[in-house]
Amino acid sequence: MIEEGRGDTRTRILEVAAKMIAADPGEDVSLRAICAEVGVKMPTLYHFFGNKKGLLEAVVERGFDLYLSEKESHESTGDPIQDLREGWDAHVAFGVANPGFYTLMYGKIRPGYSPAAQSRPSEILRGITAKAEQQGRLVVPSARAAAHILATNIGVTLRMIVLAKEDWELSNSIREGVLSAITGTSAMDSQRSVIHQVLDYANGRPEVLGTEETAMLSAWLRRLSNE
């Protein structure tokens, strides 16, 4: 969650605007109310953003900057399908934690328009699906796979925001359904794949857990894989 009272005046205005948008989704945010909350005069807001449209666009840009900084802090697992899985979870978590930013980033609908900043995370997603396609892991073109993931990922996140209730069971179920659709594998196949990855990792580095512990873990994982 974004901490209040931090950063310079411009950043503070953006954070307060996002907070007010989240408090009254769908309502017209008041510039005077934002200024009163921050403790500045209207000319200060106009100095930084020009007008309300400029402020809202800056809130969107700020939201994507925060979102991408969080994504970049996560290292790739080395497996594009697992990266898609973890990217999905990170996307939902960001939206739930920052509803004011997120509703402007992905929930403000105008036919034929999408914020320029939206292209940045979309390019990252397409890069991951392109890698999966190169490895022969997809049954649909990589661009189509990215579209499937983005559309459903946004839908799940907005649903949680609208209901003000986290539903990770639903999110996980839809996530695995989408991954199954683009890879042509069932959820069970995906689970077995993860189990086998852990098996390979553990047996390739027995010194991490110790020989006996690695053997025990391997036995348990093989039993789970056979269920």
Q: How far is Cα 217 from Cα 199, in angstroms, rounded to an integer?
A: 8
Closest-CA residue to 15 (of 28, 42, 34, 29): 34
Give the Cα separation of 127 and 65 in Å (integer).
19
Domain locations in the chain? Answer: 9-185, 187-227
Residue 3 pLDDT more than 60? no
pLDDT at 6 over 50: no
Condensed to tens digits (0 to 9), the pLDDT of residues 117-173 reads: 778 889 999 999 999 999 999 999 999 999 999 999 999 999 999 898 999 999 999
Q: List, in order, residues 6 or more apart from 43 with CB less than 8 Å away.
A: none
Among residues 38, 97, 118, which one has the least CA distance to residue 29? 38
- Give 9-185's CATH code, choosing from 1.10.357.10, 2.70.98.40, 1.10.1370.30, 1.20.120.530: 1.10.357.10
Instruction: Provide the whole-model pTM.
Output: 0.70
Distance CA(132)–CA(135), nearest Å, equals 5
Question: What pLDDT digit, counting tens, does each position of 11-53 carry?
Answer: 999 889 888 877 776 567 889 999 999 999 999 999 999 998 8
Phi, psi of 24, deg, nearest 5: -135, 70
